[in-house]
Every structure is written in C-alpha cells, then in structure tokens.
Amino acid sequence: MKRLVTFGLLALGSVCGAETARATDFIDIDDDSYAAIAFSPATGEYAFSYDYGSRTSAQNAALKRLNKPDGKIVCWVNNGFCALALGDEVGSYGVGWRWGDGASTRGAAEGAIDECSKRTSGARVVLIISSDGQVIQKEKKPTKEDLPAA
C-alpha cells in the first residue's frame, strides 16, 4: 500500500542546493520501504540507503557504503523521509524524520536543523531522502565555477 505524502521542493531546494520548479508536490511512498543514514563523527562523512524491505537491511547497506570504523546509523525511516543536517564542527550533526500520511520533507529538514543547532553553529541540511528513493536531495558542493571571479 502506498500513502500520500508531500514534499516542498522549492523551500527545501534552497536549503539543499537542489534545482526545483514547484513549491509542493505529492507522491506515493511505498509503505514497505526503508531508508537509513550512516554517519562518521571522526570524518563528517555520511552514506545512505533506500528502498530496502527491512530496517536492518537498510541500515546494513548504509553502513557498508560509508565504510568507516566509527560509522553509526543516525537515522532510519519507513514510509517517509529522513534528513541530515551538519554544522561547522566536524562530527556535529542533527537528524529529522517524518513518516506516514501527511509526512513532509519540510518537517524532516526542520527537525534536523533544530537538532543540529543545539550542538553547533552553521547548521545546514545536506541530505533528504524518501524511504523508497523517489526523493533524494543532497547539498550541492561548490565547484570552481561557483567561485566569484577574481
């Protein structure tokens, strides 16, 4: 069974650096899908998985992708969204999630920012994913082309 959830791309697109056109869309997320986010406090690196049939398999996949000895699962979700926020200090993070009918990326992102802001300054959302992978928004890393002309 799928459930109707919303995701506000325009508002969160600016947070994550995603290029989007519409302010709000509705999608059906597979309620049998799981996603997970793994994080390394020592390096500040993260990895994620989505569209797995169980919490354990999603968590194992995320940890395997991260491949860091200190890697740990910081968030998982079934039938919803996970968000990860990072701050100025390496190792500082916050997570948020929303699931079920009416879940939204905005709620997940706001939860991640709030949690991260308690630990460090400069909190920003770097990842939002849906449990089935229909939504994957990652922070855009600046390139040389993004730098101002000298």
Q: Is residue 73 part of a domain?
A: yes
Which residue, chain included where needed, has tokens 């082309």? 145
Q: Is residue 149 part of a domain?
A: no
With a pLDDT cut of 90, the percent of the chain lying above it is 69
Q: Is residue 83 part of a domain?
A: yes
Would the pTM of this model clear 0.75, i.e. be above it? yes
Q: Is residue 30 part of a domain?
A: yes
Q: What is the pLDDT of residues 87-145, one digit of tens each?
A: 999 999 999 999 988 888 999 999 999 999 999 999 999 999 999 999 999 987 666 56
Other Cβ atoms within 10 Å of 150 Cβ, number: 3
Domain enclosing residue 42, as ranges: 2-140
Q: Is residue 146 part of a domain?
A: no
Q: Is residue 97 part of a domain?
A: yes
Could you give the number of structural domains in the chain? 1
Q: Is residue 119 part of a domain?
A: yes
Exposure of 134 in the CB half-sphere (CA atoms within 13 A): 21
Beta partners for residue 75, in sequence order: 37
Q: How far apart are CA 2 and CA 147, in angstroms?
A: 43
Q: Is residue 94 part of a domain?
A: yes
